[in-house]
Structure 1
Amino acid sequence: MAMGPILGPGRRGRRSPMAEINVTPMVDVMLVLLIIFMVAAPLMVAGVQVDLPQSKAAALEQDQQPVSISLDADGSLFIDEEPVAPANLAPRLQQIAAGSTEEGGPRIFLRADRGLEYGRVMRVMGEINQAGLRRVALVTVGGEER
């Protein structure tokens, strides 16, 4: 607790307690916590490691949980983080389309590593379209180019 000023010279005064709260240390702690959470939050995203391309498009608003289809740098396929063989992709997509009550099927988020060849990504998009799923969004990383 801080003490008030001492009375002038020659006066026998005592220090009196101040009734003010020093909030500077609390603000410092809050700013440090804010920085820690800002740095740590992007690291908490779990999923298949994919190096996404950049885009300046705005994020999509979503009502229901989308189905995520990912292609990693090796070209391996994943549906919601579960590995899928390329031969089993069409039946799985038809199963997803049949289980949906929405017109055009559920929203599909297609995430593909930027190092993959264009044809491989287009083949997966063709399978998605052939299964009757029409609500497809390509996932990118927002911001400026690296």
Structure 2
Amino acid sequence: MGMSVGSSGGAGGRRRGRARAPMSEINVTPFVDVMLVLLIIFMITAPLLVAGVPIDLPDSRASALEQEKEPIQISLNAEGLAYIDDAQVPFDQLPDALVALRTERGNDDGSAPQVMLRADRTLDYGQVMLVMGEMNRAGLNRIQMVTTGSSERR
């Protein structure tokens, strides 16, 4: 049988006058766990945030404009159907719906609200201009055309 004797030399092996050394290692396991949970949450919710009418927007090198409040979104999909925000509006009811939008969501100073027009790249130019003409007739004359960013020169 072997027995080991400590080298502290004190009674019963107790250390007197020496404090415990501070721990110099950081435990990153909880941090990694939280980051992985957040990563999974963002991976699941990010595709859900891109809601709306699926449109293949044309490319443009123009820079984005500043917004003072939430604009009205009017979309024209590849089939030529019109949407105000996410609600489909038949073309025969579009002029009345645009006039109602002007009165409902107009600015406090009486100016027209900002409108973002999103049109599919495969649409006929005449159809886009028809909708823009109806918007102008309804008094919605602050129109922005939405495109995707591109650095290519054609």
**TM-score (normalised: structure 1):** 0.73
Report matched runs for 1:19-58 at 5 Å.
19-21=24-26, 23=28, 26=31, 30=35, 37=42, 41=46, 44-58=49-63
Relative to structure 1, is the Cα distance of residues 43 and 138 closer, same or farther in structure 2, using a 3 angstrom cutoff? same
Larger deviation: 73-82 or 52-61? Answer: 52-61
Are 1:112 and 2:126 an aligned pair?
no
Amino acid in the other structure paired with 2:120 = D
Rg larger in 1 or in 2?
A: 2
Partner of 1:79: 84
Cα deviation digits, residues 42-68 of structure 1 (max 9, x gap)? 662110001111122222221221111
Contact persistence 1:104–1:132 (CA under 8 A) = no
Partner of 2:133: 126
Amino acid in the other structure paired with 1:119 = G
Which blocks of at least 5 consecutive residues in structure 1 are unaligned?
1-11
Partner of 2:68: 63
* Rounded Cα–Cα distance in structure 2 between residues aligned with 1:144 and 1:35: 32
Amino acid in the other structure paired with 2:92 = A
Amino acid in the other structure paired with 2:133 = G
- The alignment of Structure 1 onto Structure 2 pairs a total of residues equal to 133
Question: Secondary structure of the residue that 2:75 maps to in structure 1?
Answer: strand
**TM-score (normalised: structure 2):** 0.69
* Rounded Cα–Cα distance in structure 2 between residues aligned with 1:26 and 1:138: 44
Larger deviation: 49-58 or 82-91? Answer: 49-58
* Rounded Cα–Cα distance in structure 1 between residues aligned with 2:67 and 2:47: 20
Flag as ranges the 4+ runs of structure 1 deviating above 4 A.
22-27, 29-40
